[in-house]
Amino acid sequence: MDLASLIGFVGAIGAILAAMIAGGGIAPFIDTQSIMIVFGGTFFAVMYAAPLPVFLGSFKAMSKAFLPPIKKLDETVERMVELAGMARKDGMMALEGQPVPDKFFEKGCRCWLMVLMSRSL
């Protein structure tokens, strides 16, 4: 779980509860009908507005905030060393078309190549 997401979630709930307690306790703020209207209405309004695959996919997207994928950094570092060796021996243009570990790394390589190509013009 991402530490920032956990701290943000707990902090938000804590701030809301602290404001409720400072205002005279939590009991006046708990109204079952209002909770059902807000959460149920929001849930079904979003379900109405989006197709079912998009709606169900949103839960998968939300889970990424709390369960980020674990990347294998050893493989990424090894591939970076290989690509650096290629660039040193054959020049930066040799990197074009080479497989890279992830999309972020690929975008960084493309941007760097564009910078180098613009300098050579």
Question: How do the domains of the chain map onto residue ranges?
Answer: 3-66, 73-120
d(CA 66, CA 2): 6
For residue 57, give the amino acid letter. G
Three-state DSSP at 97 gives coil
Q: What is the pLDDT of residue 70?
A: 77
Name the average pLDDT for the chain. Answer: 84
Q: What is the pLDDT of residue 105?
A: 81
User: What does the pLDDT average to over 24-47?
Assistant: 89
Answer for the pair 92, 106: CB distance below 8 angstroms, yes or no. no
Q: pLDDT at residue 49 above 80?
A: yes
CB-based contacts of 75, cutoff 8 Å, min separation 6: 101
Q: pLDDT at residue 24 above 70?
A: yes
Q: What is the pLDDT of residue 36?
A: 93
